[in-house]
Amino acid sequence: MYDHPMSRTNIDIDDELIDRVMRRYRVKTKREAVDLALRRAAGEPMTREEFLELRGIGWDGDLDEIRRDRTKDWSWSS
């Protein structure tokens, strides 16, 4: 059926995001929507507009903490 390796998995997906992808790209199934999204994510970098569309999807990370963690192991003295 497919000419490349495939695996089956069960994941929790935000139905609203799936619906948006399906409407925007006119795909008929959730599988097609996920496949399209993964291929886009693994491909070319996002445009500024695509990046801005991600605003409000629920990322709850702490950017300041990430920055601190990234630099805490750096030694500023010889």
Q: Is the dihedral of CA 35, 41, 42, 44 positive or negative?
A: positive
Strand, helix or coil for residue 61: coil
Instruction: Indicate the pTM of the whole model.
Output: 0.49
Residue 51 CA to residue 54 CA, distance in Å, equals 5
78 vs 17, which has greater pLDDT? 17
Per-domain residue ranges of the chain: 15-71
Residue 2 CA to residue 6 CA, distance in Å, equals 8
pLDDT tens digits for range 59-78:
677 878 878 876 666 656 55
The DSSP 8-state label assigned to residue 57 in this structure reads: S
pLDDT tens digits for range 21-53:
999 888 999 999 998 888 888 887 878 887 888
The half-sphere exposure of 41 on its side-chain side, counting CA atoms within 13 A, is: 8
